[in-house]
Amino acid sequence: MDPNNRLDNLFPAYQGKNENLIILLTRTAEILTKWFSDAENLGPLPIENNFKPSMPEEYGSSLDSLFSEIESLIYNSFNPVHPGSLAHLDPPPLIISILGDLIAAGLNNNLLAHELSPCISFLEESICRWFSKKLGFDELSGGVLASGGTLSNLNALVAARCHSGLKSDPSAVFIISEDAHSSFKKCASIMGLPDSGLIKVNTDINGRMDIVHLKQTFENCIVEGKKIFAVVATLGTTMRGAIDSIKDISQLCKERNIWLHIDGSIGGIFALTNISIDGLCNVDRSNSITINPQKILGITKTSSLLVVSDFRKLNDAFSTGLPYIASSDDYVQKGEIGVQGSRPAEVIKLWLSLRFLGMYGIEAILNSSLERKSYFEEYINKDKYDIYSGPLHIISLLPKGMNKVNSDLWTKKIRKELLKKKFMLSRSLFKNKYFLRIVFGNYNTSKSTIKDLSDFLNKI
Ligand SMILES: *Cc1c(COP(=O)(O)O)cnc(C)c1O
């Protein structure tokens, strides 16, 4: 028998007060809360990794030793709430979203099928319809949540390929810009496309898909016998937040009857609001759009959704008949409209967070990230740095005139120095050089912190 004798309390009790559960939840919340408040001293990243995970043994470990391991795990983690966490599209978690995750875990419903998540499936449908309407799509539209932007993009591309009738055609291709996200390469592999099945169009001086080159690419495809099943426009590129011209691209796609997918993993959320963003218009002329609220709004990972202008296209692409689940004409089984099968109730945290924020709160968060970037742009020495940035909250920079080798050394060195000062920036390969990249999506970052950062960069 287990010497710790705790096998009675493995699951929540179905009667009584569940005291054990309450005690454990409280203890966990206390550790987590303390870690948040200790962030100022600890910085965004632990200096060295002191977490040494123990592996399962014959008998389970005591709760006390488990809690000390939990503490060690937490204290050795990246801390997104620290104001110097400016490296990636990983903002601090909204408190309401943390609650949503807890509820989803407790409910342990499955978004695979209606009978395993009756009201949450309805909630997912409702929130997708809300997004569709906000984006300007009509009542034929709808969507599905997925665990991240990569999967939402993949769902869109599979639907596009099926719709085009090129499901098993080896000459099928899709088009992205050279600055589109690296995950499209994965999508192409998963879809069984050869390297030549992913065509990259050049970007212009502002980092947007070059329309002349896109037209040229259409012509080339005809000559080479390639059949285009989708064009992907990026609404917010990863390196500089550039926005492809959806107006021009949608026009060209309409003329050729090609599916237009918008990768709005970074900027898509802005399209819901009244915030005026250069080049952000006409998203309702696309066939599908990915929105990834985990990237900027602070919905906890993962939270992403795909909205399609014609909801039936998802079912056409993914339906299997789901043989082991009772079917119904009244609703669509959610496991039948995307690549994921079993799915957690991630919609709860998204819904709760958006309800809590309201449009006013959503705009306040988004606007604040743009303001932080503008503030930095005001201070940074533009004679010293090449600065790449579009209309969104991302900046990549490098001292002028640096070659690849020096950019590699410089970014490594400066990133290390910045970490000592509790600033975490990222280091990314762009235009065949290494850049420092700053993402201003952290609501905890104050103007004085930004000033400190630009002062440091101006002085070195
Ligand atoms: C992050 C990102 C993705 C991929 O999203 P994941 O949530 O990491 O899967 C796709 N496109 C863009 C532009 C992104 O920034």
- Note the pLDDT tens digit of each residue in 144-176: 999 999 999 999 999 999 999 999 999 999 999
Max alpha carbon distance in the chain (Å)? 74
CB 292 less than 6 A from any atom of ligand 1? yes
> What is the average per-residue pLDDT within 47-65?
93
The mean per-residue pLDDT over the stretch 205-225 comes to 98
| Whether the CB of 350 sits within 6 Å of ligand 1 | no
At 452, give phi and psi (nearest 5°). Answer: -60, -45
| Mean local confidence (pLDDT), 338-364 | 98
Calculate the CA dihedral of residues 275, 281, 285, 286 and round it to 10 degrees.
-80
- pLDDT band (50, 70, 90) for residue 8: confident
Mean pLDDT of 249-274: 98
What pLDDT band is residue 280 in, cutting at 50, 70 and 90? very high
Q: Which residues contact 305 (CB under 8 A, 6 or more apart)?
A: 127, 128, 131, 143, 144, 145, 146, 152, 290, 291, 292, 293, 350
pLDDT at 245: 98
89-106 pLDDT per residue, tens: 999 999 999 999 999 999
Helix residue spans in 108-182 (DSSP H): 118-135, 149-163
Quick one: which atom of ligand 1 is closest to the CA of 153? 10
Ligand 1 centroid distance, CA of 275 (Å): 22
Please tell me the pTM assigned to this model: 0.97
Instruction: Convert 20-86 into a string of H (helix), E (strand) and C (coil).
Output: HHHHHHHHHHHHHHHHHHHHHHHCCCCCCCCCCCCCCCCCCCCHHHHHHHHHHHHHCCCCCCCCCEC
Residue 322 pLDDT: 77
Instruction: Using the atom order of ligand 1, give the atom closest to the CA of residue 238.
Output: 15
Query: Cα(419) to centroid of ligand 1, in Å?
Result: 25
pLDDT of 38 above 90: yes
Q: Is the CB of 428 under 6 A from ligand 1?
A: no
Query: Per the omega criterion (within 30 degrees of 0), is the bond before 150 cis?
Result: no
Q: How far apart are alpha carbons 295 and 315 in whole angstroms?
A: 27
Residue 47 confidence (pLDDT):
85
Q: How far apart are CA 386 and CA 236, in angstroms?
A: 19
Ligand 1 atom 15, closest CA: 238
Looking at 47-61, 95-109, 281-295, 343-357, which range is the least confident one? Answer: 47-61
Run of H or E including 428: strand 426-430
Q: Is 84 in the pocket of ligand 1 (CB under 6 A)?
A: no
Q: How far apart are CA 328 and CA 427, in angstroms?
A: 51
Instruction: Give me the mean pLDDT over the 46-64 stretch.
Output: 93
Cα angle, residue 233 at apex, residues 227 and 234 outer, rounded to 5° = 140
Quote the ligand 1 centre to 131 CA distance (angstroms). Answer: 19
Is residue 253 scored above 70 in pLDDT? yes
For residues 303 and 293, give the distance between their C-alpha atoms in angstroms, rounded to a whole number: 6
Q: How far is the CA of 138 from the centre of ligand 1 (A)?
A: 26
Ligand 1 atom closest to the Cα of residue 294 is: 7
Residue 364 has pLDDT above 90, yes or no: yes
> Is it the case that residue 323 has pLDDT exceeding 80?
no
* Percent of the chain scoring above 70 in pLDDT: 98
Measured N-to-C along each axis, helices 246-256 and 211-224 cross at an angle, to the nearest 10 degrees, of 20
Ligand 1 closest atom vs CA 234:
13
Minimal CA–CA distance to 183: which of 216, 208, 214, 148?
A: 148
Has residue 326 got a pLDDT over 90?
no
The rounded Å distance from CA 328 to ligand 1 centre is 34
Share of residues in the chain with pLDDT > 90 (%): 94
pLDDT of residue 7: 82
pLDDT average, residue stretch 172-196:
97
Q: Which atom of ligand 1 is nearest to the CA of 236?
A: 13
Assign 1 a pLDDT band (cuts: 50, 70, 90).
low
Structure-block tokens of residue 459: 């002085």
Is the Cβ atom of 304 under 6 angstroms away from ligand 1? yes
Task: Please tell me the predicted confidence (pLDDT) of residue 321.
Answer: 84
pLDDT on residue 40:
95
pLDDT value at residue 85: 98
Quote the mean pLDDT of the chain.
96
Calculate the CA 337 to chain-centre distance: 20
Summarize the confidence of residues 435-458 as an average pLDDT. 98
Which residue's alpha carbon is nearest to atom 3 within ligand 1?
149
Going from the C-alpha of 142 to that of each of 123, 130, 131, 399, the distances in angstroms are: 13, 9, 8, 46
Burial of 60 (0-12, 13-18, 19+ CB in 10 A): middle
Of 9, 2, 322, 272, nearest to 143 by C-alpha is 272
pLDDT tens profile 381-435: 999 999 999 999 999 999 999 999 999 999 999 999 999 999 999 999 999 999 9
Distance of CA 460 to the CA centre of its chain: 33
